[in-house]
Copies of this chain bind each other. A is one copy, B any other.
């Protein structure tokens, strides 16, 4: 009698047919690592025309990085982030006007916020509020730069958005960002039922969203009615499979071994990177609300997103994973007029309408 394992090997051989050819052809290192030859990856033929055009064109670099070395001192980090954010934050009022939303700057519990309100709120969202958490690797995206995706969400879902301009390193490392999201959330909870609130964002904003919910649960707070985890940076260590498999394939992130690693350590300070409030994938997802997740086949955080999805599902949460063809990290922000981007927010809106009360 053959073992189940042996049977399964044969089964997969028959099912796939290709171990017959492939196995000997691939070099395997001693530690089981796979040696992958250099290759050329074409523009993804099944992506939209708009996305393909963007991928085919060299990506503009709006901020001159000059030498390209990473900042080292706190002062260098602060200046670097300020320059990037100043460029990214330019013209947001004009963009808001174009998108049919207004921006009102203020603060809540001492935390800077932007209220982004569509000119015409969808009546179905009249009693809803989207708490937006911006991305930027926990280093970038302060000030007016924080509202970019909030403009798309407010404009496309026609839902009021409160965008949280949380504190960041070098001046304010972990847990300042989590504390700020918690402070704003508690404030809003005094005025509205939790189930009427959505919370979410992209990249570090998605990760911070998940970390904040871990904190809400620890504090005994009611959780929001729905979460948006757009390609969430849910593991700040270099663990996820697609950090390796999609290295350089992802036109946005490109590699962990540079800014990502530096930003992770700048944010975490002396804390363990696997602290679930820093890398939320290591936390307990019991009690999490319905969560909408988005990533792409080229995304270096595809694994972060998929691992989070699995943890949510294992904990019994409603979790909806969406993977877009040819999409690198947060490409739906980079090519906002693409059908992919439209679909991301149309599905986000459908998810909010389904789960918010």
Contacts and interface: CB of A to CB of B under 8 A. Distances in A.
A241 B26 contact: no
B10 A90 contact: yes
27 contacts: A7-B148, A9-B334, A10-B90, A11-B333, A11-B334, A12-B334, A14-B84, A14-B85, A14-B141, A14-B145, A17-B84, A17-B259, A17-B263, A18-B258, A19-B59, A19-B252, A21-B258, A26-B254, A33-B41, A37-B248, A46-B240, A46-B307, A306-B324, A310-B322, A310-B324, A314-B343, A323-B323
B2 A90 contact: yes
A251 B18 CA distance: 9
A324 B306 CA distance: 7
Q: Looking at chain A's contact residues, is the secondary structure mostly helix, strand, loop, or mixed?
A: mixed
A40 interface: yes
A55 interface: yes
Closest CB pairs A-B (n = 8): A32-B56, A14-B88, A11-B148, A22-B254, A15-B135, A306-B323, A2-B91, A44-B241
A158 B302 CA distance: 33
A251 B34 contact: yes
Give the interface size class of chain A. Answer: 35 or more
Copy number in this complex? 2
A41 to B, nearest CB: 5
A16 B330 contact: yes
A309 B323 contact: yes
A95 interface: yes
A255 interface: yes
